[in-house]
Structures are given as C-alpha cells and as structure tokens.
Structure 1
Amino acid sequence: MSGSAGRNLGLVLALLIVVVIGVATAPDRFPTVDNTLTILRFASALGVVSIGMTFVIAAGHIDLSVGAIMALASVWATTLASQRMAEDFHWVTMVITALAVGASCGLINGILVAYGRMASFIVTLAMLVGARGLAEMISGKRNQIAEVQGFLDFFGGEVFGLPVLVIIFALVAAAAWVLLNRTTFGRRTLAVGGNAEAARLAGIRVKRHTMVVFALVGVACGIAALMMVARTTTGTSTHGMLWELEAIAAVVIGGTLLSGGRGTIVGTVFGVLILATLTNVFTLHNLDTSTQAVAKGAIIVVAVLLQQRVAARNGGP
C-alpha cells in the first residue's frame, strides 16, 4: 500500500511540475479555464483507451492496434448507412455500432493470441495495419461528417459546466478501478500476467480470460471512438494515429509493469493527465508532432528504467 501511495505521490508531483512549466512558459494561455477543459477533453478519449490498455499489459500482453481499432469504429459509426439508421430509429445505434466494431476487433485479437498461440505483438500489429486499411476503404480516405444532432448534443454537452466526455472518462476509470481491484476478474488478470502457468494450475481458464481482456480493450476503443467523433464531429481513418504509443506511455508512466502482474488504474489516469498536459504545452509552443513523438518515446524509456530500478530494489516485480 505504501509503495502504491508513493508512486501516486510521485505522479502528482510530476503533473505539478508539468503544470508549473506550462504556467511559466505560457502564462497568458496555459492557466485558463478554456485551456484546462481542452486538456481534459483530449485526455478523456486517450484515457479510456489507456485504461483498456492497462488490463492488457497487466495480463502480460501488449496491444498495438488500439488507435487503428478506434479509427475503424469511428468510421463505421459515421457511415451514411449508420447515420441514416440513427436518424430513423435513435442515435444510440451509432453507439452500438462503434462498440460492436471495437469489441469484434478486440475479440479477434484475443482469439488469435489465446487460442492461436500467436504473440500479441504480431497479432495486434497485423490488426493495426488491417483495421486502418479497412477504415480507409470504407471512408474512401475522406472525413465522414457526423450530422446526427442528438448524438452530438449528448456527447458534446456539459453537466454542471463539466464536459460529458470528461464525465465518461471518470465513470470508465471508476468502473475499471472496481473491476481490477475489487473483483475476481481483476485478480485473475494480475495472476495471468504474473505467471500464466501458475494461474492455469490454480484453476484459471487462462485462454478464455486472455480473450476477454482483449475484447475489453476493444470495447474501450469503441467508447473512445464515440468520444472522438463527438469532439471532432468526424469519423476518419486518421483518428488515433500513434495512440498505441500514447496509451503505452500513459500505462507505463502510471506504474503498470510491462512484464505483467501489476496494474494500476489510478496511475494510468495520472499518466494520461501528464501526457495530455505535456502535449498541450508542446502545442502552445508550436512544436511539431515529430518532436512530440520523440519526447514521448524518451519518456517511455525513462519510465521503464525507473520500473526496473524499483523492481530490483524490491527484489523483483
């Protein structure tokens, strides 16, 4: 418990340092209500994907396809057919479409990893290429404008001044915390990630559990797709570019072990906020995306090195 509290305190301090840098370097633009809401809106969709990634990494795997799955779900939910159905029946049909696409892609990943005995790195890399390509085929490499007003009003609205997107992120984070820390599913996820063979001998159906974990991150991608469509009013194959990097960075910064066996939802939330705030500072200073990617890659390396030092000090993960 003390180790977890110490990690969270370190994350809070890291977030405060980034905030101080933002205030010091852009005092007229960074510390404003509008900019804070911009950071939170950006963090929301990325945060939902990162929470799903937390379960996959805690289970001892990796998912490189989260950005592509989100893009495919956003495109499928905003096709003319999907939007026509939404107008004829209810905008919830767009929600169902995005969630179904995300869950299906995640399920395919899970089946190939668990029952096909393929490395998750290879499977999700193939899904990254395939899902992005299918999204381009469906959309014709064009942005699809979301025109269903009920959908835009709901996801783009506010409750007591707080954007609905931020509320969705908070609800997903709370549900994920309960799932990981207070349920058998969470304990089994950590057990599988810590030692899959020991988990199997303990009676856990490792293959089925692995499949469900990948389906879970697929659902998270579907939710994030809806949030991106609401935030940008478009479904496009370019959504989620390099989000696999962003999500992995947030999860690792938060304290989830890349080797599996330990996961923290609170840490992931802080990791997302740190990255979102850092991205905002970069954007305010007009740094190009390539420079941002290099900086985030360096952050991942530093976070992994720190994890290794902590693990060595404690005698192992």
Structure 2
Amino acid sequence: MTETVLRSSPEKRRFNIDMRALSPFIALIVLMIAGALINPDFLTASNLLNVVTRSAFIAIIAVGATFVISSGGLDLSVGSMAALTAGLMILTLNSLGNADMSTLALGMLAAIAVSAACGLANGLIITFGRIEPFIVTLGTMGIYRSLVIWLAAGGTITMRNSDLRELYRPVYFGDIYGVPVPIIAFLVVAAIGALILYRTSFGRHVIALGSNEDVARYSGVPIWRVRTLTYIIQGICVGIAVLVYVPRLGSATPTTGLLWELQAITAVVIGGTALKGGVGRIWGTVVGAVILEVVANIMVLSNFVSEFLVGAVQGAIIIIAMLVQRSVHRGR
C-alpha cells in the first residue's frame, strides 16, 4: 500500500497542470474559434495582424503592471501618465523643430524620462509616505490628467512638422519582414520582462514582496528599493507604449489613454497574475492583452453587442476573471 502511494505521488506531481497558467491560452483559442464562426473574415491575416498590433499599447503597459501587481501594488495612473508623456513628447518635438533622426531620438528620450519620473514619483510616495498604492495612484491619475488638459488648453497637442510625422510613421505603420513594428516592440518588452521576473534576483524579490512583505523584509529583501523599482518599470513601459502610440495619430488629447489602466489590469488578471501579489505571469499578461482586443474585434465584426459597449464588456471580464481566480484559490 505504501509503495503504491509513493509511486503515485511523483506521477501526480508530474501531471499537476497549473490551470491558471494555461487558462488564458485556452480562452484565446476558444475566442479564435468563436470569432471564425461569427465572421469568416476574422481569421484573415490582415485582421489578425491588425488585432495584435492594436493590442501592443496595452500589452506593453501590462508587462509593467505585472511587476507592480506581482509585488502587491497597483497603479491606476497609467492612462493619465501615457497622456502626459505623449503631450510632453510632442511639445518637445515641436520645440526642436527639425525633421531628422536626432530630433526624433531626443523626443523619444524625453518621453521615457517623463514616464520614468512619473513612475518614480508614484513609487517614492507609496514607499516613504506609507500610503496605499490605490490612494496614491488615484491622486496622481488626477494630477497627470489635469496637467495634460492644462498643456493642451483643453484642446489637442499636435505634431506641427509634417516631415517629422512622416519620418515617425514607420514606428507604428511600418514592419520588419512583414511583422508590424508594434508587435515586435511588445514581444521584445515581454521577453525582457520575463527574463527579469523569472531569471534575476530582483524578480525573485518582487514575488517575495508580493507573497509576504514581512517575511521578505526579514529575509533581507530591500523593500523600498524593490517596490520603487516596480513603479519605475511601470513608468518606462508606459513610455515605450507612448513611443509606439504617438505616430498612429500624431497628437495627444485630454482623453488619450482613457481607461488604459482598466485594460492593463484586466490583461494582467486574465493572464493569471494574482491581484493580491505573489504570482506573476508575463506571457499570460501578453495573451490577456490580445484577448481584450480579440473581444473588441469580435464585437465590431458581429451585431450581437454594440461596439460602444467595449468598456462595459472589459469591466465584466475583469470581474469574471477575479471570480475565477478566487474559486481556483479556494479549490486548492
């Protein structure tokens, strides 16, 4: 009897599949089948490339959100941060005036610097102010959004140099060997994020902090440094997303990035990352971002639900995803 138990235990461990890790991939396959049944045009190469390209902004931001949420934090300011970053980047490009690569590079560096500074501000206030991340980022969400409205005087901040706009267009509309640049951008960001989270001591510290802050502190994890760095990473990811987003429209408005925080958090939760922290799944997050855009695309191609209700559907998705997470956790 004992031998039977001993023999079966390794087998159970060997076939113990983490459904929370697999569920986003299964959900994506089911949605792809549903999309094909609803409209045959869904599975065309052009439509699928368009879907993945449009998911790039949220996927990049959600990679940063995975670090924040895995550490037990939350950032509600990413949409407003993106709007402020885009606005200041365009103003920088307009002030430089030239239509060359050096001007574009300076504008891009300005965008990354602004977004990283915003992330740093969030992290420092949360860490040294000992204030809940929800409260801090709710406050900075209002601050960043108001600054954009002030800079734009309630209107639109537009790239004035048409030659510079043409030079910048390939960052969104271009491709490398047939693969759109935004897709390459978010795959690179995701790969780097996965490498950091899974293969470095910092990544292990992030997970330890999210699992149990007191235990992590007693284990020698530099709490303030790790937590602040997760928000800086979030800010840098927002900046990279803005670099890809700006050439799409060439402008920024007070509504730029509206509800991006909802989409980023939803993508993270769909991807299997625990909202309470301690678990982080970068590739699941990427699939979660694609799922959101697939749902939106299916809504456009079908007449079942108005496309104007995309936000409502995404809100319902995050609630359902949380219910599933909780039921799986209780089942264990």
TM-score per shorter chain, which class? over 0.9
CA distance in 2, matches of 1:303, 1:10: 10
- 2:11 aligns with none
Residue equivalent to 2:309: 291
Query: 1:235-264 deviations in whole A, cap 9, x for unaligned?
Result: 223121111111111100111001100110
- Are the equivalent residues in 2 in contact too, given 1:252–1:304 (CA < 8 A)? yes
Q: Partners in 2 of 1:128 and 1:164 — Cα distance? A: 29
Count of matched residue positions in the alignment of Structure 1 and Structure 2: 312
Counterpart check, 1:226 vs 2:243: yes
Does 2:149 correspond to 1:170?
A: no
Shift in CA distance, 2/233, structure 1 to aligned 2, threshold 3 Å: farther
Cα deviation for residue 92 of structure 1 reads: 0.6
Identify the residue that residue 328 of structure 2 maps to in structure 1. Answer: 310
Aligned partners of 1:126 and 1:281: how far apart in 2?
35
Residue of structure 2 equivalent to 1:212: 229
Runs of 4+ in structure 1 over 4 Å off: 1-5, 286-290
The structure 2 residue matched to 1:83, chosen from 85, 94, 99, is 94
What is the CA-CA distance between 1:291 and the residue it aligns to?
Answer: 2.1
Q: Residues 159-204 of structure 1: CA distance to partner in whole angstroms, max 9, x if unpaired?
A: 0011111100000000000000000110000011111111111111
Distance 1:153 1:47 in 2: 19
2:260 equivalent in structure 1: 243
The CA distance in 1 between the partners of 2:323 and 2:16, in whole Å, is 17
Check conservation: 1:77, 1:235, Cα contact below 8 A.
no
Contact 2:171 2:182 in 1 (8 A): no
Unpaired runs of 5+ residues, structure 1, are none
Say what the alpha-carbon RMSD is for the aligned residues.
1.9
Task: For 1:76, give the aligned amino acid.
Answer: L
Distance between the aligned counterparts of 2:243 and 2:156, measured in 1? 15
Is the CA contact 2:171–2:244 (under 8 Å) kept in the aligned structure 1? no
Residue in 1 aligned with 2:3?
A: none
Q: Which amino acid is 2:65 matched to?
A: M
Where in structure 2 are the equivalents of 1:55-66 lying within 5 Å?
55-66=67-78
Describe the superposition over 1:215-245 as per-residue Cα deviations: whole angstroms up to 9, x where unpaired. Answer: 1101111111111112222222312111111
Change (3 A) 1:37 1:232: farther
Tell me how far apart the structure 1 counterparts of residues 167 and 320 of structure 2 sit (CA, whole Å). 44
Contact 2:93–2:104 (Cα < 8 Å) also in 1: no
Greater gyration radius: 2
What is the aligned partner in structure 1 of residue 84 from structure 2?
Answer: 72
TM-score by length of 1: 0.93
Instruction: Note if contact 2:172-2:245 (Cα within 8 Å) is conserved in structure 1.
Output: no
Contiguous gaps of at least 5 residues in structure 2: 1-13
Aligned residue type for 1:16: I
Q: Secondary structure at the match of 1:272?
A: helix
Tell me the alpha carbon deviations over residues 27-65 of structure 1, each in whole angstroms, 9 at most, x when there is no partner.
2x3222221121111111110011111100000011101
Q: Distance in 2 between matches of 1:196 and 1:48?
A: 27
Aligned residues: percent identity? Answer: 35
1:86–1:92: 8 Å Cα contact kept in structure 2?
A: no
Q: How big is each residue's C-alpha offset from its partner over 1:138-177, in whole Å with a ceiling of 9 and x where there is no partner?
A: 1223333334233223443210011111100000000000
